[in-house]
Structures are given as structure tokens and as C-alpha cells.
Amino acid sequence: MTAYILILDDDADVATAAQLLLRRRYGQVATLSDPAGLPALLARGVPDVVLLDLNFTPGRINGAEGLALMDVLRTQARPPAVIAMTAYADVPLAVEALKRGAGDFITKPWDNARLIAAVDQALARRQAVHGAAAGSPELMGESRAMRELKALIASVAPTEANVMVLGENGVGKELVARAIHAASRRAAGTMLAVDMGALPESTFESELFGHRRGSFTDARSDRAGRFQAARGGSLFLDEIGNMPLAAQAKLLTALERREVTPIGADKPEAIDVRIISATNLDEARLFDPSVFRADLLFRLNTIVIRVPPLRERREDVPLLLAHYLKMYESQYQRPSREVAAVAMDALTRHDWPGNVRALRHACERAVILGQGAEYAVADFGLATAPAAPLGYPPHAEVSGGESVDRAAAAAPATDATLDAIERAAIAATLAQFNGNISHAAKTLGISRAALYRKLGKHGI
């Protein structure tokens, strides 16, 4: 989904780590280290969600500074959802933050899946309050492929059938899921999105099914799982193909019995959710029993929707370009410009391996860097072969046995600068480890913090 997220934290490494984690999922993620800059930022546009550190002055741990900022955020015409963050959590501070309007309270260092879940839930709450999907534009395109996709969504949405959405990275699978939910009989309920590939196997049951206080070391209170939180609505299981087989068995049991048992509970709880799942796996691999359980697949793929890649609907490229260029021109307060005819031809013929997500990032780059009266091809950064987005396989996969040096050597000869070689090596290594920052940093011989800085530097 596309949403505007603000990370307000005085620790640059913490802010960068959160930005890189969330940017791929939500698109627009800004950081701010000095609270004094908040009024000016709000004047340019109010975020959908603010991740707010509660302490900024060294030595202070009472959270007073963050609580004061929450009062400022609450005065906005459409206040953002707030997730409070602090390394010095205690119960009274958490209670006070919730009283001031925070929707959630997270202790640093956070678990990535927990943070993404908190942001998803914050967006869902804001959607319920304001009556509109925060930052979720409708599926754009008038090509035959998109007309057929929209017609299929309209037919499937009113039913209760489980739906599996297939498609490459960046095609808009979550937008399809949200369109299905919005046109369903469950539209008044919540749609919660869960990145199944990011859920650690050790916390899988707690995150999906919930837990009772004292059921394990960190279970300080009862907590509802995603199945309970989405009751009466839809549960979007993203990256379903990345689930370990053991976790697949647990999910299958819940779907077959239509009930879940929270960790530490004595009795199961009935569930009432519609399941929409998605994966970028090749469809043939889903039928490989070493990758995905056949019995779970048959539970999930009652209806299969295949989202076309952008190269199969090139006639939609001009419409998408116009939308995203206008959006970023407004965001960055840049003058409106047309796309030169030569550039439009090149952009339309481009294969866009990253699909709509890649096009959106190219538009942001063009708005920021473009200097001419019209947008030129070079403004969109198409001269360099696209590197793999964080956590996704590259256009030409790097096998587990290839070295970083070999991946770096594969960089295009026309762009053999040190920066280009470094960028290619980092992208290949991340792809090799499916976006795992710790493993990639270890292989590259640098710290996690250094890798985060390099990711930001190269825009990966």
C-alpha cells in the first residue's frame, strides 16, 4: 500500500533502519531528528502514521518531550495515527501515551514484523476514523488487461470465497486485495495485512492466534492475534509463499477448524475472517510439495487472480506517469512539467522489472533531480540496469554459491564506477539472503548500521 509515514527519532541509525524497513511497503517514509522541524513539516502535509520517539534530550527517560509532541499532532485537522517508541518503556508511560492518543506502544529495539503489524493496524484505524483508505489509490489503468482484472474483482468481491493473488513484485497485489475487501460485504470491517514471510517462526502463533498473559517470558498481558483483530473483516496474508512448512501446517489447522487457540488459553476461539493471500512465487513452484503444502494451497486458492506485469499493459504507462509525477510535484513543491516525447516513448517501451513500484520510484527521482523544461529520459534513471529491490530476487538471480565479487563484476560495463559496483554488490548480496540485513552485512564484512547507511546512500 502507499502511505505517508513519518519517523520522528533523534537516533539517525534507528530512523534509517525503520525507514528502510517501511519504505518498500508503504512508499513514502520521511525521517525527522529534531522536533523543532515538526511544524514546518506538518504545514507541507500531515502524515498518515507517525512513529514517535518519546525522549530526545540525552539523559531524559520520562517521555515528557514525546507526550508534548503528541498534543501537537492531535490538533491537526486530520490527526495522524501515532505509534509511540522508546527504549525506556514502563507501564505508566505506556498508559499515558495511549491516553494522549497513541494507538500503540513499541519498545526499542523492535521486532520487524511487530512494527509492520503496528503500522498496518494504525492505518486501518485511521481508515475507519476518516472513512477512506489512507494512501490506497484505486487500481489505475484502462488497458484490456486492467479492465479484465477489475471485472474479475467485481465478480469475486461479493462472495465469501478465499482469493489468492499472484503476480510479480510491484504489480499491486495488495491494492487488488484492498479492492476486493472494499467491494465485499465485509467492507465495514477491518482489513489487516500480514507479511507472512517476515513473521519469525518462533512468534508465528502469538502474532496470528494471540496469547494469554504469562504464557511465555515476554507475555506481560493478553493480546489478540491477527485472526481475532480482523474478526468480521478480511485478513490479507502477503508473501504466503515464503512461509516455512511447519508454519503452513499451523495455518492450515486454523483454516480447517475455523478456530484458533491463543497460546496459554484453555479453549479455542471461533474466527470470522475472509482470507486473501498473495505471493510472487512462480505458480508452478506453489505445487512443489517441498515449497508449499497442497492441502493449504487448496484452502487458499478457491479463486486465483493473476495481476499482469506492467510490460503486458504498456498503454497504461502514460497514465501512471502522470499520476505519480503530479503526486511528487505536489509533495516536493516542484513545478509541473510534461514528459518529453522521446522520454515518453522510452518509458513506455521499458520493461519495468519492478513494475508499478519501480515506476513510482523513477517518478520520484525525476521530480527531485530533473532540471529541464520537460522531463528527459535521464531524469528517470533508466540508463542503469535496475538493481533488485530489498528482499526480492534480482532480474537475473544470484545463486547461493556466487561470491559478492562475482556479483559486483556483473555490473554493466557502461556504469563501472565504484559507487555502481558497490550498489550492485549490495543488491546482489541482499537478494542472495532474501533481504536479511544481518546475513548480508556479515557477508559484506560491514556492520548492520553501516549497511543501513549504504542502503540509504544508494536508494536501495
pLDDT tens track for 209-252:
988 888 887 777 888 889 998 889 999 999 999 899 999 999 99
Q: Does residue 3 sit in helix, strand or coil?
A: strand
Q: Does residue 330 sit in helix, strand or coil?
A: helix
In 96-199, where do the E strands start and end? 102-107, 163-166, 191-195
Confidence of residue 318 (pLDDT cuts 50, 70, 90): very high
pLDDT tens track for 98-115:
767 787 888 888 888 888
pLDDT over 50 at 134, yes or no: no
H helical segments located in 165-234: 173-182, 204-209, 226-229
Residues 6 or more apart in contact with residue 237 via CB below 8 angstroms:
194, 196, 251, 275, 276, 277, 278, 300
Question: Prior bond to 318 cis, omega within 30?
Answer: no
pLDDT over 60 at 89, yes or no: no
Q: Which grid cell sits at 193?
A: 495485512
Confidence of residue 391 (pLDDT cuts 50, 70, 90): very low
Confidence of residue 395 (pLDDT cuts 50, 70, 90): very low
pTM listed for this prediction: 0.57
Confidence of residue 259 (pLDDT cuts 50, 70, 90): very high
CA angle in degrees (0–180, nearest 5) for 244-248-252: 180
Confidence of residue 95 (pLDDT cuts 50, 70, 90): confident
- Summarize the confidence of residues 245-272 as an average pLDDT: 93
Which percentage of the chain shows pLDDT scores above 90? 38
pLDDT over 70 at 381, yes or no: yes
> Do residues 156 and 305 make contact, with C-beta atoms less than 8 angstroms apart?
yes
Distance CA 111, CA 255 (A): 26
Provide the greatest CA pair distance for the chain.
Answer: 68
CA angle in degrees (0–180, nearest 5) for 129-188-131: 30
CA angle in degrees (0–180, nearest 5) for 34-40-45: 115
- pLDDT of 111: 84
- pLDDT of 165: 97
Distance CA 69, CA 102 (A): 11
> Do residues 198 and 113 make contact, with C-beta atoms less than 8 angstroms apart?
yes
pLDDT over 70 at 387, yes or no: no
**Domains of the chain in sequence order:** 3-130 (3.40.50.2300), 144-308 (3.40.50.300), 311-383 (1.10.8.60), 389-460 (1.10.10)
The more confidently predicted of residues 196 and 431 is 196
Query: What is the torsional sign of CA 13, 85, 23, 442?
Result: positive
pLDDT over 80 at 427, yes or no: no
- pLDDT of 402: 35
Q: Closest Cα to residue 5, out of 77, 72, 76, 80?
A: 80
> Do residues 65 and 34 make contact, with C-beta atoms less than 8 angstroms apart?
no
Q: Closest Cα to residue 359, out of 333, 390, 320, 326?
A: 320
